[in-house]
Amino acid sequence: MSIEEQIGTKIRNLRNQNGLTQEELADRTELTKGFISQLERGLTAPSVTTLMDIVECLGSNLSDFFHEDDDLQIVFPREDYFEKEDEKGNVISWLVATAQRSSMEPTLVRLMPGESLPPDKPHEGEEFGYVLEGSIRLTYGEKSMVIHKGDSFLYPATKNHQISSAGKRVSTFLWISSPPSF
């Protein structure tokens, strides 16, 4: 597919997403319907200024227009995890290596019996967790609660909080912070 055809296809798709006819787009950009038709079929190429006008009328910008979603990593294989194990066998696994660029940060935490994560001071955002095995104790402000396998938790991170093991077995839980805080 030629560059003209790629640009034309993207314009047609964006126009259709906005529910516009070729004539409506032509009117908004002060171009002819024939030019829009030729452009969408890849028979002609717009000038940079004309392309900017068209893309802007379609509610986008050149950066987004030319951005390829194919660059977006969606799957994160286990070998890409970053793991930190302390001397007592507690492990935090960062499941998405590029999470600092996202609005959330998923981690998998393994706590040995009787162990705790360091206390966390109040900060912006929320934290969510799901206990996969064992039991954990969540201390949130002045409250302390035990959360068992199959239970989840969600709280605004606006109070002091800490998570510790609450049983005699290893505890594992999925922990998601938004925004990333590690």
The pLDDT tens digits of the residues spanning 65-96 come to 887 666 677 888 898 888 999 999 999 999 98
Task: Give this prediction's pTM.
Answer: 0.62
- pLDDT for the residue numbered 18: 85
- pLDDT for the residue numbered 64: 84
Residue 107 confidence class, pLDDT cut points 50, 70, 90: very high
What is the widest separation between alpha-carbon atoms in the chain? Answer: 75
Question: pLDDT, tens digit, for every residue of 25-57?
Answer: 999 999 999 999 999 999 999 999 999 999 998
Q: Which parts of 21-95 fold into alpha helices (H)?
A: 22-29, 33-40, 48-57, 62-66
pLDDT greater than 80 at residue 182: no
- pLDDT for the residue numbered 69: 61
Q: Is the dihedral of CA 131, 137, 139, 143 positive or negative?
A: positive
Go through the domains of the chain in sequence order and give each one's CATH number: 3-71 (1.10.260.40), 78-178 (2.60.120.10)
For residue 79, what are the contacts with CB-CB under 8 A and spacing of at least 6? none
Give the residue among 135, 181, 134 at the shortest CA–CA distance from 156: 181
- 10 Å CB burial of residue 28 (0-12, 13-18, 19+) is middle
